[in-house]
Amino acid sequence: MSTAEPRRDDGLPAYLQRLVDTADDLPLRHRMPEPSASARRSAVLILFGEGPGGPDLLLIEKSPHLRSHAGQPAFPGGGVDPGDDYPVGTALREAEEEAGVDPDGVRVVATLPELYLPPSDRLVVPVVAWWDDPREVSVGDPREVARVARVPLADLADPAHRFRIRHPSGYVGPAFGVADMVVWGFTAGLLDAILEATGLARPWDATDVRPLPPIGARAAALPGSADEEDADDSAAPTVADPAPDGPPTRTVPPR
């Protein structure tokens, strides 16, 4: 598809249209600081679709071997490259490289306000899109991506999957235990705001505060979580893990 300016289209689900309508006023719980002069421009793709488990969105889990953000779940995305049609082109290129997303099957509907991440000195633009033609979920380069998952919105909104994480630095923020991953930090904060903006948020126990788990920890192993067997069963249909060798692992067969 073209990486021209995102456009609003009819036919979007009501929850996604609500997000588009409030794109300029995302209900973030934490105030974002002013970016530094050296901040690198980046973009992430917030890709909604209709999956086997109902409405969902795409997350990746970064490789535990990376120098920064190792093992963290995230939206597909990264820094701008020369020639990118930033931010839309950057988000689509990264999603294709990291999760095998075909840009031709994606309809970009909005961009959210820039968000500054001081720890990595990045200025991130979230690009909101609808997956008109969902295809295979795949792990791109296993040196960068450990897993790819299409996570049902119902799982993200489920109060049983929500808690807060305390970082050793003292930071406490929202977290999710979904698709056998522990989602926290910037990604969880953005997910929290997205659920509010879409009208899908449900009351949850914000007093449930847990320590930051080790890199690569699975949600099934956290206190209060479902057992590991149940988590694996529920996640398997829409999760791709890297193969030990050979071509990238794929799931969710193409239509």
pLDDT of residue 54: 93
Weakest-pLDDT range from 2-6, 40-44, 171-175: 2-6
pLDDT of residue 118: 85
Only one residue has tokens 């795949």, namely 138
pLDDT of residue 240: 60
Distance in angstroms (rounded) separating the CA atoms of residues 32 and 117: 8
- Report pLDDT digits (tens) over 216-231: 677 766 655 544 334 3
Where residue 137 falls among pLDDT bands split at 50, 70, 90? confident
Task: Using the predicted structure, report yes or no on whether residue 135 has a pLDDT greater than 90.
Answer: no
Q: Do 190 and 221 form a contact (C-beta atoms < 8 A)? A: no
In the CATH scheme, what architecture does the domain 14-248 have? Alpha-Beta Complex (3.90)
Closest to 95 in 3D by CA, of 47, 143, 149: 47
- Report pLDDT digits (tens) over 89-116: 999 999 999 999 999 999 999 999 999 9
Weakest-pLDDT range from 139-148, 156-165, 174-183: 139-148
> Cβ contacts of residue 239 below 8 Å, gap of 6+?
137, 147, 148, 149, 150, 179, 180, 251
Quick check: pTM over 0.85?
no
| Ranges of each domain in the chain | 14-248
Q: Look over the chain and give the mean of its residue pLDDT values, rounded to a whole number.
A: 82
H/E segment holding residue 155: helix 153-157
Sign of CA dihedral 253, 153, 9, 76: negative
Mean predicted confidence (pLDDT) in 205-213:
93
Distance in angstroms (rounded) separating the CA atoms of residues 199 and 214: 32
Percent of the chain whose pLDDT exceeds 90: 56
Distance in angstroms (rounded) separating the CA atoms of residues 103 and 11: 19
Tell me if the bond preceding 213 is cis, omega within 30° of 0: no
